[in-house]
């Protein structure tokens, strides 16, 4: 494995090694979800860079940033066990933000307006700033993102096309624990009781994910709230149904259209998000 903290070091390394390049941007605390992106990137490309950088500009809450888990030694061990050729880019803020650690301002229209966009103001400007910097500097052929952060994936696809960055943005399925909980670095912040309770999030989404006729979303939301209320530590932040193209929440599910269900739930103090596609029987 090659570990670099500056873009210049990576550039030198890549000059000696031609071929296609895959990028897996992460904030570290790697889990099987990240590793599945890395495996896909390794299968598709000659070289793979995994960036590990906790991006301050995407946190709208300083406490959340302070609490964000990190374990670079374990991350490197995991990556090395997959493939010794992996390039790890673990920069300081100065390497990605040469002037000021500040988010740029973008217009992603409805894609960044609802859900995470509404509940984490400024979040997508921060994500887009760092992803733009990574894509411009590293110039990968392909970049890999998980569908758990579905809205983030859609925003990055739009960023890539708006700025004509020419990268193939690849969305990969959410990887789940055996009990259905979507893998997330935040899961390690859950205590035993919260971790057990959190399984109810996907179990309830699964119950709602198949439908026969038109569905009334306020009834679905009421069902979700009632079901997760079985666990005292769970609290719903948002529940939306939207078409995956525009991500504009709707009030009714009309047949023959593609809709996904998106939720954010607090388990104790830890905020978890998840989503699922709705399927008509
Ligand atoms: O999904 C993440 O881990 C982050 O939002 C990303 C894409 C690495 C940008 O910091």
What pLDDT score does 256 carry?
Answer: 74
- Cα distances (angstroms) measured from residue 189 to each of 184, 226, 266, 268: 10, 25, 12, 10
Domains of the chain, earliest start first:
2-172 (3.40.50.620), 185-277 (3.30.1300.10)
Find out whether the beta carbon of 112 lies less than 6 Å from any atom of ligand 1.
no
Cα(90) to ligand 1 centroid in Å equals 13
Kindly report the protein residue whose alpha carbon is nearest to atom 2 of ligand 1: 26
What pLDDT score does 268 carry?
Answer: 98
Do the bridges between strand 142-146 and strand 21-26 make them parallel or antiparallel, or are there none, so unpaired?
A: parallel
CA 54 to mean position of chain CA atoms: 13
Kindly report the protein residue whose alpha carbon is nearest to atom 8 of ligand 1: 26
Find out whether the beta carbon of 135 lies less than 6 Å from any atom of ligand 1.
no
Kindly report the protein residue whose alpha carbon is nearest to atom 6 of ligand 1: 26
Find out whether the beta carbon of 25 lies less than 6 Å from any atom of ligand 1.
yes
d(CA 21, CA 139): 8
What pLDDT score does 214 carry?
Answer: 78
Tokens for 234? Answer: 């769970």
- Identify which of 23, 24, 27 to mutate to test ligand 1's pocket (most ligand atoms within 8 A of the CB): 27
Q: Which atom from ligand 1 is nearest to the alpha carbon of 134?
A: 9
d(CA 97, CA 75): 23
What pLDDT score does 202 carry?
Answer: 98
Pick from 28, 80, 31, 72: nearest CA to 54: 28
What pLDDT score does 213 carry?
Answer: 78
What pLDDT score does 17 carry?
Answer: 81
Pick from 92, 110, 109: nearest CA to 101: 92
- Identify which of 96, 127, 174 to mutate to test ligand 1's pocket (most ligand atoms within 8 A of the CB): 127
The tens-digit pLDDT sequence of the chain (281 residues) is 999 999 999 999 998 888 999 999 999 999 999 999 999 999 999 999 999 999 999 999 999 999 999 999 999 999 999 999 999 999 999 999 999 999 999 999 999 999 999 999 999 999 999 999 999 999 999 999 999 999 999 999 999 999 999 999 999 999 999 999 999 999 999 999 999 999 999 999 999 999 877 788 999 999 999 999 999 999 999 999 999 999 999 998 887 789 999 999 999 999 999 999 999 87
Active site residue 31: no
Cβ within 8 Å of residue 226, ≥6 positions away: none
Tokens for 270? Answer: 């830890």
Cα(229) to ligand 1 centroid in Å equals 30
d(CA 213, CA 70): 45
User: Which one from 13, 31, 34, 123 is the annotated catalytic residue?
Assistant: 34
Do the bridges between strand 87-89 and strand 142-146 make them parallel or antiparallel, or are there none, so unpaired?
A: unpaired
Tens of pLDDT along 36-84? 999 999 999 999 999 999 999 999 999 999 999 999 999 999 999 999 9
What pLDDT score does 65 carry?
Answer: 95
d(CA 210, CA 207): 7
């Amino acid at each position: 494995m090659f570990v670099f903290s500056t873009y210049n070091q990576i550039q030198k390394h890549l000059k000696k090694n031609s071929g296609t390049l895959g990028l897996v941007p992460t904030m570290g605390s790697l889990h099987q979800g990240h590793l599945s992106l890395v495996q896909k990137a390794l299968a598709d490309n000659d070289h793979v860079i995994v960036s590990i950088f906790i991006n301050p500009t995407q946190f709208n809450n300083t406490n959340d940033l302070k609490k964000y888990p990190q374990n670079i030694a374990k991350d490197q061990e995991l990556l090395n066990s997959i493939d010794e050729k992996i390039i790890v880019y673990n920069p300081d803020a100065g390497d990605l933000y040469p002037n000021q650690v500040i988010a740029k301002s973008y217009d992603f229209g409805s894609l960044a307006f609802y859900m995470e966009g509404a509940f984490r103001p400024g979040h997508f400007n921060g994500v887009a700033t760092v992803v733009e910097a990574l894509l411009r500097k590293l110039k990968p052929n392909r970049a890999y993102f998980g569908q758990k952060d579905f809205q983030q994936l859609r925003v990055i696809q739009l960023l890539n096309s708006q700025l004509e960055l020419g990268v193939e943005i690849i969305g990969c399925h959410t990887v789940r624990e055996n009990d259905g909980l979507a893998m997330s670095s935040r899961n390690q912040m859950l205590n035993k009781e919260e971790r057990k309770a959190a399984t109810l999030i996907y179990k309830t989404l699964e119950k709602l994910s198949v439908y026969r006729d038109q569905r009334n979303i306020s009834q679905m939301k009421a069902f979700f709230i009632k079901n997760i209320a079985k666990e005292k530590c769970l609290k719903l932040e948002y529940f939306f149904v939207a078409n995956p193209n525009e991500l504009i929440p709707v009030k009714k599910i009309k047949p023959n259209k593609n809709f996904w269900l998106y939720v954010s739930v607090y388990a104790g103090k830890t905020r978890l998000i998840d989503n699922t596609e709705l399927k008509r029987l």
